[in-house]
Structure 1
């Protein structure tokens, strides 16, 4: 088996493990475990807590002491064990601990997966910029395949989704140990723990433009996990309405939501064009208003006559997610000094997937509970509230973020 194919399998499994439960777990917690919105928000918030600490911690371990492929394998095996534990639980506190443990070991694997891929490609004289994206795109394919498997097997509201993820995680953990060695570089310049967390990049906060960008990164980070946490529970709630109980959308909610990830793969390809043509400010504004439409369409859609609105919501998710996450990362890469670019990327992830996701899932859970009466959730008001929040961001961002786009400079930058 060629090394590119081996890396493709690794990337496919990396996101298959995540896709098997990330979208469907909310519906399982609502319907089978009967958790509240606040509790579900807290469970999803464990990924934000983990993203603040453990990726940097395991990155240091891989940099200094243990081969990166081995750290990747260990993390996946421990993460799989925690999912198997979670599958046996029904009380919130213990389930929370199990998912926090899973997040602590899974979230670092996203960066470790990239690190292993980069090192192996580099050692074999491949062009990382050219050869890695076609490998990485299979990660998104793996995510979608896992969602379809969970949906078509009827595991979306069952602990079986955790078995599927855990099984893939154990296989990937063992598979990672068979990858070519990615040993720590001897006598390398040691980064401090603060540097690995991206804390030395806080100097960027002295720049008003970057300060505003990072603040809005955190505020937009609030929105990133809302769909993951509540979209499946929202659609499954229509099963309580006779008119929609047997509709395709309710019976295959995870498959319906997977359109979001398919859309994501398509919008990634458009980012270079939009950044060259419109610049980062306009692209982020497009992202924010895509979130407005994402939530608003959920607020008015249903699995019956309103199914096209739900499908359209899934499609605009690609723009909402990619135009902020990918474009924002590229913006940080261009604006940060070369000496702190890695730390700046760490800070960007810390603000979005760390603090933003953590705080956002907690607040969104409280919003869901606010609009819940006697176990009946007013999803229209819930989604309109989220849409209103995104609208406020969309109105205020262009007023406070000052950035002049130079098409010539942008074109030059994307030629590299």
Structure 2
């Protein structure tokens, strides 16, 4: 069912497109408005340690772990997605404004934890609202989703333009995010109706956790990819948690605005991804992403705000390759490999593993490491960044040795790897290593 009945295939009502694009812009503007600079805010205004900064950032992981339960048990069963989205963002606006008024970490942490438990489910909700209005999501969704990345970039540019980092007024980022969250909350109630789909049964814990997709792990290559996804998120936590603090200590002006270059490169490589996957194949594409992670941290370790400023810029610009070549390519690989039966469960499982387990481990590890290299006037960032560089390099080497891409370069190997063929009425032949399933 779509909101575009009667239109030609691939068409979408312009008003609907504008609403969805505005929703995406505000959704990621809210997140980018405070998340990037939170480490610097906690260090300067709340005098938090590195471990406390990491603890604040791992609320993202806790929210990601809680999100499937919230969506599966509440939103998918009883309420329209756009109404749940509105309520969560209005409540989130109150929490963000409250966070801006707090002066101790012990008071700040439970508020930001509550906020992230509310915010992380909205990432799935905005996708749900979007997909339900589209006749051809493969073609229509990227043009809508890219407004989210633009929203994140605009938030960083505003912070840099108003010099909130230099003026040590980063509490205002939470208030800016609160205003945007309130606007999105109210706006959500005029979004296209997205009622729950009545499937005749309620979601179970097994459905919500995507446990059916565990069958995919019987395939060695997918198991290697799955474990690599968790492992590569450990160095990712260093980037999320401490890049803004690092750039400010290094003397980079308008660091949040400079960091938005990473999202700009993400947009570029996202547009190139379909072509690169076909030309390179999944293994090389994923490996390039992991190699970019290691190289980025090497640039951070040895760059500075003076003559080697170009290294810092390249490290930030590599974000597009780091994210798109691994996460986006991995999501496509998972979608094609899992097939129709396991598709939703597999995406839920890989999201829980990366943003939940992987970044959680990385955040717990990054904080003590940063504290260990604290100095009288900041931190020894060269020693700090070498550690995630080594982790990413080790993950890359193990991935190259263990992952087997059976396809050929220049062909859509992801489709070949996941294709199932009809064997008999009601029976399919699954990819190698997976059980066969008989439909009811």
Give the structure-2-normalised TM-score. Answer: 0.87
**In structure 1, C-alpha distance between the alignment counterparts of 2:226 and 2:349, rounded to whole Å:** 8
- SS of 1:90's partner is coil
Aligned partner of 2:185 in structure 1 is 173
1:327 to 1:45, Cα distance in 2 relative to 1, 3 A: same
* The one of 113, 136, 149 aligned to 1:127: 136
In the TM superposition, what are the counterparts of 1:196-275 in structure 2 within 5 Å? 196-239=208-251, 250-275=252-277
Q: Tell me the CA shift for residue 106 of structure 1.
A: 0.5
| 1:59–1:112 Cα contact (<8 Å) kept | no
Q: Tell me the CA shift for residue 297 of structure 1.
A: 0.4
- If each structure's helix is expressed as a fraction of its own residues, which one has the higher value? 1
Q: Tell me the CA shift for residue 412 of structure 1.
A: 8.5
- SS of 2:195's partner is coil
- SS of 2:17's partner is helix
**In structure 1, C-alpha distance between the alignment counterparts of 2:82 and 2:173, rounded to whole Å:** 26
In the TM superposition, what are the counterparts of 1:390-409 in structure 2 within 5 Å? 390-407=392-409, 409=411
* The one of 60, 79, 89 aligned to 1:76: 89
1:371 to 1:340, Cα distance in 2 relative to 1, 3 A: same
The one-character-per-residue Cα deviations of 1:198-230 (angstroms, maximum 9, x if unpaired) are 122122222222222111110112233321210
Aligned partner of 1:279 in structure 2 is 281
Q: Tell me the CA shift for residue 33 of structure 1.
A: 1.5
Aligned partner of 1:62 in structure 2 is 75
**In structure 1, C-alpha distance between the alignment counterparts of 2:368 and 2:133, rounded to whole Å:** 45
**In structure 2, C-alpha distance between the alignment counterparts of 1:101 and 1:190, rounded to whole Å:** 26
**In structure 1, C-alpha distance between the alignment counterparts of 2:103 and 2:307, rounded to whole Å:** 36
| 2:57–2:241 Cα contact (<8 Å) kept | yes
Q: Tell me the CA shift for residue 251 of structure 1.
A: 2.3
- SS of 1:265's partner is helix
In the TM superposition, what are the counterparts of 1:360-399 in structure 2 within 5 Å? 360-374=362-376, 376-399=378-401
1:238 to 1:290, Cα distance in 2 relative to 1, 3 A: same
**In structure 2, C-alpha distance between the alignment counterparts of 1:61 and 1:216, rounded to whole Å:** 32
Aligned partner of 1:293 in structure 2 is 295
**RMSD between aligned alpha carbons?**
1.8
The one-character-per-residue Cα deviations of 1:299-338 (angstroms, maximum 9, x if unpaired) are 1111111111111111111101111110000111111142
**In structure 1, C-alpha distance between the alignment counterparts of 2:361 and 2:197, rounded to whole Å:** 37
Q: Tell me the CA shift for residue 407 of structure 1.
A: 4.0
In the TM superposition, what are the counterparts of 1:131-150 in structure 2 within 5 Å? 131-150=140-159
**In structure 1, C-alpha distance between the alignment counterparts of 2:337 and 2:381, rounded to whole Å:** 40
| 2:221–2:403 Cα contact (<8 Å) kept | yes
**In structure 2, C-alpha distance between the alignment counterparts of 1:180 and 1:412, rounded to whole Å:** 34
341-350 or 189-198, which deviates more: 189-198
Give the structure-1-normalised TM-score. Answer: 0.92
Q: Which runs of 5+ in 2 are unaligned?
A: 1-13, 420-440
| 2:279–2:410 Cα contact (<8 Å) kept | no
Task: Say which structure, 1 or 2, has more relative contact order (CA 8 Å, 6+ apart).
Answer: 1
Aligned partner of 1:86 in structure 2 is 99
Aligned partner of 1:33 in structure 2 is 46
Q: Which runs of 5+ in 1 are unaligned?
A: 240-249
- SS of 2:46's partner is coil
**In structure 1, C-alpha distance between the alignment counterparts of 2:160 and 2:352, rounded to whole Å:** 32
Q: Tell me the CA shift for residue 59 of structure 1.
A: 3.9
**In structure 2, C-alpha distance between the alignment counterparts of 1:404 and 1:150, rounded to whole Å:** 47
Aligned partner of 2:65 in structure 1 is 52
**In structure 2, C-alpha distance between the alignment counterparts of 1:36 and 1:256, rounded to whole Å:** 24
**In structure 2, C-alpha distance between the alignment counterparts of 1:275 and 1:281, rounded to whole Å:** 9
How many residues in Structure 1 have an aligned counterpart in Structure 2? 401
- SS of 2:203's partner is coil
**In structure 2, C-alpha distance between the alignment counterparts of 1:348 and 1:148, rounded to whole Å:** 32
Q: Tell me the CA shift for residue 169 of structure 1.
A: 0.3
